Amino acid sequence: MRDRGIRTFITVLAGVAVIYFGVTGHRQSGEEGSGISGGIVLLALLASALAWHLTKPGPAK
């Protein structure tokens, strides 16, 4: 992937997906409390960093 815009989009999408599924899973557990926990934010950052690393361009041929 040479287009940095697509790489950034995939990175942001990975982070948002982790936050979305983390929050919806938290709501379904029946616990009171709103917001995003620190663990979910940390997982979102790790998922974004992994997506950024995995989509970096390879060496030029």
Q: Amino acid letter at 10? A: I
21-58 pLDDT, tens digit each:
988 876 665 566 667 788 899 999 999 999 999 998 88
Exposure letters 18-34 (e unless 16+ CB within 10 A, then b): bbeebeeebeeeeeeee
Model confidence band, residue 59 (pLDDT cutoffs 50, 70, 90): confident
Our measurement of the distance from residue 44's CA atom to the centroid of its chain's CA atoms, rounded to an integer in Å, reads: 4
